[in-house]
Amino acid sequence: MVSFTCNICGAANDVEHFASEPATCACGSNVRLRALIYLLSVELFGRSLPLPAFPRMKAIRGLGMSDKDCYNALLAEKFDYTNTFYDREPRLDFTQPHPELAGHFDFILSADVLEHIAPPVEHALAEAHRMLKPHGFLGVTVYCHPSGILREHYPTLHEFRIVPLGGRDVLINRRPDGTLEIRDDLVFHGGTGATLEMREYGAAPLRAQLLDAGFREVDFLTTDIPEIGVLFDHDTSQPLIARNREYTFDHCAGHQLVDAWQSAELRAREAAECADLLATRIRLAASSRWLRLGRSLGIGPRFE
């Protein structure tokens, strides 16, 4: 039995059969998602905070690639954050250039998406890198095979369609040289269409691709954090952060943090003054002759 507090919703859980992939909290979080939010917290704030306790800082700009329901609404509450999708609105195709978004984001999250991006995935990684501020970072979860080998299933994918044929889907591809390829060994992750597995990663080739995309550091989370339900089990898919340099708050976020701290101080002072005033009133009231009389008769307010 593993007892942990989910760092996405704050719920306390006791889980008997603990595996990395299936949801192990009622909010829908699994090991990889809790690890991703842990990495986000440590990267932004230097400590592990549960998502509901993140400070509200709208100066921090974040972007999600098909982020999951269990955390995207909270991220939108805390930050200037937009979740995007490949196949529905708000739509964003990372394989295409978006010069208007260059240097725009503090963080981009990609949870179990990189294996589904049509080749060459390198374009999407380079685009994500371009969209980040110089101190911004990319948080990734993706399944990595223990063999450590990258298997690109459709290396010559060019113009393609997935069509149903005789009760199962087939992929028809016109390669760049004009020849046709038909494949029926398709693997989907819980759906059809965009959930087609395009590749299977190994950890070392993934790191190499991120470095090639322009990131200077790639840090995999390799240690278990049992108190928040991050136990990697047999899963070799340790989440990672790819960054250029250590995260720092820019000017605007720094000011917002000072404002938040000042108003928290003010609230604390007001609360303390309020408590003092109340204590004085209670002392005065408790010593009142009329109240003493009331108490002896079993009526009136009680302060003890």
Q: Tell the smallest beta-carbon distance from residue 80 to Zn ion (Å).
A: 24
Q: Tell the smallest beta-carbon distance from residue 38 to Zn ion (Å).
A: 13
What torsion, rounded to 10 degrees, do the Cα atoms 142, 144, 150, 156 define?
-40
Q: Could you tell me the maximum CA-CA distance found in the chain, to the nearest angstrom?
A: 101
Q: Is 230 in the site for Zn ion (CB under 5 A)?
A: no
Q: Which amino acid is at 259?
A: D
Using an 8 Å Cβ cutoff, are 228 and 6 in contact? Answer: yes
Among 4, 8, 44, 131, binds Zn ion (CB under 5 A): 8
Q: Tell the smallest beta-carbon distance from residue 68 to Zn ion (Å).
A: 11
Q: Is 114 in the site for Zn ion (CB under 5 A)?
A: no
Q: What are the CB-based long-range contacts (under 8 Å, 24+) for 63-66?
A: 63/92, 63/105, 63/107, 63/108, 63/109, 63/131, 64/108, 64/109, 65/92, 65/94, 65/108, 65/109, 65/110, 65/111, 65/113, 66/111, 66/113
Residue 77 or 270: the one with the smaller Cβ distance to Zn ion is 77
Residue 22 or 167: the one with the smaller Cβ distance to Zn ion is 22
Of the CA atoms within 13 Å of residue 149, those in its CB half-sphere come to 4
Number of residues that bind Zn ion (CB under 5 A): 7
Q: Which residue is nearest to Zn ion (CB)?
A: 6
Q: Is 6 in the site for Zn ion (CB under 5 A)?
A: yes
Binding mask 22-51 for Zn ion (x = CB under 5 A): ---x-x-x----------------------
- The stretch near Zn ion (CB under 5 A) out of 18-26, 212-220, 270-278, 294-302 is 18-26
Which spans of this chain sit near Zn ion (rule: CB under 5 A)? 6, 8-9, 11, 25, 27, 29
